[in-house]
Amino acid sequence: MTNLHVLTLNCWGVPIPIVCKKRKERMLAIAEELGKGEYDIVILQEIWDKEDHKTIETKTCKTFKYSHFFYSGVIGAGLYVLSKFPICETFFHRFPVSGYVQKIQHGDWFGGKGVGLCVIKVNDIYVNLYCTHLHAEYHKENDEYLAHRISQSLELSQFIKHTSRVCDFILLAGDLNLDSYDLGYKLIRCNANLKDSWTEKKSTLTEDDGGNTCDIPTNSFSGSGDLSNPKGKRIDYILYRDNECTSIEVTGCSVTMGRIPGKTFNYSDHDGVQSTFLVKKSEKTVPTSKPEYDFKTLLLEASSVINNGLNKVQSDNQFYKVFMAVSSVVLFILIMYPPVEGVIKSFLTIFVSVVIFFIFIILYILNKNEENSLLSSRNDIKVLLRES
């Protein structure tokens, strides 16, 4: 029998001072808090800067003998796992569709979104720990990344389902960028057959005890534009499942790591979530109850979202083809019938050539990757529908 205390926290580690406030001070405070040893396993997101990684590693190495940082994309996946127990195996699976390179202001594409797996041996129990950070939602009413996030949710749930058959205990933790009423959240829980430690916790839930971790009014980094929902959003989760001959009980779950003691600001723009599990071997096999969602209905809804995403790809392709054709005509005029001469002509010629090249990359490489990835997700859904 083992008590396992788990924490997940999005650390808001964007390495741009104007965008990310008081980053170095916050990372030091996070490292010092984790170094106290209150948690057995810690899952961090948005650790993108090497200096931040080093700060946390240095301050926590005596507490956590084992750790693993997942590398991916241009700036790294930002996923960092700390453990008091041995990490036996690791693996990272990158999502093939994850935003747009031209949307530099969002930056999700550069992070190489995916799911990291750590196999952790907790005494005589093998834990498959999955950590992830799905694509952000920037506009609720006009969400251009909805198809990407649904594709990621499906792929994440499939990955967990097919890699967790031989372990004792499954944990999924991180910033899912999904509310508990969103399609992606339901899809993950239903397809991977996961429980939510927040809703399963033993303490009584109250109306104000909603587990919200992001855009909450008490967070010093929540701007006025973030507070359309006055109580904030619940998008950070610790989900779990027991396998055969393992018994899991959630003895506590709460939101934590809000305001830094003695400071006027928070550890991050997210609060953390901590869950305590009582894990023990069981001689009897108790079947895990299925989530209260109709899987076929979820798949049909997901298929509709993916189809809308494919339609958007086709629409974007038409736009870029027209744009490239117009740019090509402009380049032809600049070369054959230049309206200007000298330095201005050279500058305009180079500029238009670069634009055409960039459009070509988007049209025939990046958009093609997006289209094929969404088609793959749609085909996976078709197979699941056939078998459901």
Q: List the catalytic residues.
A: 270
Residue spans of alpha helices (H) in 61-123: none
- Alpha carbon separation from 189 to 154, 313, 388 (Å, rounded): 10, 28, 16
One-letter amino acid of 353 = S
Q: How big, in percent rounded to 5, are the helix, strand and coil portions of the chain?
A: 40, 25, 35
- Which token pair is 195? 């429980």
* Rounded CA Rg of the chain: 23
How many angstroms separate the CA atoms of 368 and 365, rounded? Answer: 5
Report residue 255: phi and psi, to 5°.
Answer: -85, 140
- Locate all alpha helices (DSSP H) within the chain, ordered by sequence: 23-34, 50-60, 146-163, 183-191, 197-200, 295-336, 342-361, 367-387
CB–CB of 98/108 below 8 Å? yes
For β-strands 195-196 and 246-256, DSSP reports them as: unpaired
Using CA atoms, how far apart are residues 388 and 367, in angstroms rounded to an integer? 31
β-strand 125-133 against 169-175: which pairing, if any?
A: parallel
